[in-house]
Chains A and B, each alone.
Chain A
Amino acid sequence: MTAAIEAVAVGKRYGRTWALRESTLTVPAGAVVGLVGANGAGKSTLLNLAVGLLQPTEGQITVLGGRPGSTADELAKVGFLAQDVPLYGGLTVGEHLRLGARLNPRWDMAAATARIARVGLDPAQRTSGLSGGQRAQLALTVAIGKRPELLILDEPVASLDPLARREFLADLMELAADGLSIVLSSHLLADVERVCDHLIVLAGGRVRLAGDVDDLLATHKVLVGARRDPDRLTADQTVIQQSHTERQSTLLVHTTQPVLDPSWTVSDVGLEDLVLAYMAAPASSAYVAGPTLRRVG
């Protein structure tokens, strides 16, 4: 099956500043991917590269088997919802749908109209008067009305109240159940844990962690024990984060093997702690799980 996104050593430079460097990752088709990282980590740059709004300075990015945005067919396969939820303020809700029909070859007007009614939007209303939640719902309707194979959303729920956010995510998950691939960036790790099956962590313009969420959680352990030098771990254990008090050492390690040393108290790691550890860890400990497992750096 063709991957939704395949990036090989992709980098993007603005002037003299690299926003993204040496980023290699695979997003399998049908995945729901959470893209997380601090502001300025390169999230929007990566998403804009995947849509074709930006061209990479180095490396290659392939989306659904083609170069992003290169042909009409390629454009039709990808839906994009930008961070600022762009709508035409002078147009009505209904006019946005008609515009979508004119601009997109695979537009599904029946589904888009039904969706607008279901989320309680009035086709005659101008979009300048819509609330943040209504704007997001209309923009999502336009993005999925074109019947994309991949939907890319840049912080889609940031402006929504908790109820609107829940409904928005529920809608997304229904689309995922139908096989749509989804990539969304978010600062809300609780949302990411709930809706995403894959995770990409960016920091300082580089991929620090990428892979299937369950696999990532299963291959990282927290070890607590009497203070010791982390260099004396078994070969399969890589330390991602460590903290020491006078008597105690706490380590977050990556390992594919069970931890057998009885002097460690071993516990599972939560998604939030895992993400924070990789955001803070040096780039040399980056871990990218692909179809073929490989260690980067």
Chain B
Amino acid sequence: MIEFRIDPTSGVSPYRQLVHQVRQALLLGLVREGDQLPTVKEVVAKVAINPNTVLKAYRELEFEGLAEGRPGVGTFVTRSLADSSLAAHAALRKDLTGWLARARRAGLDDASIAALFESTFRSGMNEGVA
């Protein structure tokens, strides 16, 4: 089952953080169709956030067609996002790990690596590559 965390320094509202974490887990195949999301009470007891925040995040996931609330039972994931591309993840991760090692050997720190990735990702998007 997914375990939520809240980063108070991110500037992103807690409810958006929850939605993002579910989507991320779906993309990485960590959560699959049919899996139950933690109950509102479990989430608030774990991360100390307002229960309405959790309800709002779950409503948003329902609106996006990613989850479904079953009255008296809980909220369940209704769709996987990872299916076909998931098989390629392992190889891509290995490439990326190698690339990261090369970047560090070249003397890049974390901030430079993130900046380089982001700017490459953006220019790739503009050229229609990524």
Which of B13, B41, B48, B56 has a CB less than 8 Å from the CB of A217?
B13
Which of B8, B47, B51 has a CB less than 8 Å from the CB of A176?
B51
The contact string, 1 if C-beta is below 8 Å from chain A, for chain B 39-63, is 0110011111111110010000000
Say yes or no: A173 contacts B50, CB within 8 Å. yes
- Count of chain A residues with Cβ under 8 Å from any Cβ of B? 20
Say yes or no: B52 contacts A194, CB within 8 Å. no
Say yes or no: A177 contacts B48, CB within 8 Å. no
With both chains docked as a complex, state the minimum distance between the C-beta of A47 and any C-beta of chain B, in angstroms.
20
Q: How many A-B residue pairs have CB under 8 A?
A: 47
Say yes or no: A197 contacts B52, CB within 8 Å. yes
* A183 proximal to B (CB < 8 A): no
Q: A173-B51, A176-B51 are in contact. Are A193 and B8 (CB under 8 A)?
A: yes
Q: A170-B44, A173-B44 are in contact. Are A195 and B11 (CB under 8 A)?
A: no
* B6 proximal to A (CB < 8 A): yes
Residues facing A in B72-124 (CB within 8 A) are none
* B29 proximal to A (CB < 8 A): no
Q: Chain B: which residue is nearest A176 at the CB level?
A: B51
* B69 proximal to A (CB < 8 A): no
* B14 proximal to A (CB < 8 A): yes
* A166 proximal to B (CB < 8 A): yes
Q: A176-B50, A217-B13 are in contact. Are A194 and B8 (CB under 8 A)?
A: yes
Which of B11, B49, B56 has a CB less than 8 Å from the CB of A194?
B49
Docked CA distance A176–B8 (Å): 20
Q: A166-B48, A197-B50 are in contact. Are A174 and B14 (CB under 8 A)?
A: no
Q: Which of B13, B51, B56 has the most CB of A within 10 A?
A: B51
Docked CA distance A169–B13 (Å): 18
With both chains docked as a complex, state the minimum distance between the C-beta of A27 and any C-beta of chain B, in angstroms.
14
Docked CA distance A170–B50 (Å): 9
Say yes or no: B41 contacts A195, CB within 8 Å. no
With both chains docked as a complex, state the minimum distance between the C-beta of B7 and any C-beta of chain A, in angstroms.
11
Provide the residues of chain B in CB contact with A217, threshold 8 Å.
13
With both chains docked as a complex, state the minimum distance between the C-beta of A41 and any C-beta of chain B, in angstroms.
23
Which of A170, A195, A214, A270 has a CB less than 8 Å from the CB of B45?
A170
Docked CA distance A174–B6 (Å): 17
Which of A167, A172, A194, A270 has a CB less than 8 Å from the CB of B14?
A194
Q: Chain B: which residue is nearest A182 at the CB level?
A: B50
Which of A170, A197, A214, A270 has a CB less than 8 Å from the CB of B48?
A170
With both chains docked as a complex, state the minimum distance between the C-beta of B93 and any C-beta of chain A, in angstroms.
33
With both chains docked as a complex, state the minimum distance between the C-beta of B12 and any C-beta of chain A, in angstroms.
10
A–B Cβ pairs within 8 angstroms, 13 of them: A169-B48, A170-B45, A170-B46, A170-B47, A172-B48, A174-B45, A176-B44, A176-B50, A193-B14, A195-B48, A195-B50, A214-B56, A217-B13
Other A-B pairs, 16, CB within 8 Å; known A174-B45, A217-B13: A32-B50, A167-B48, A170-B44, A170-B48, A173-B44, A173-B45, A173-B51, A174-B41, A174-B44, A177-B40, A177-B44, A193-B8, A193-B14, A194-B49, A197-B53, A214-B56
B residues at A contact (CB < 8 Å):
6, 8, 11, 13-14, 40-41, 44-53, 56
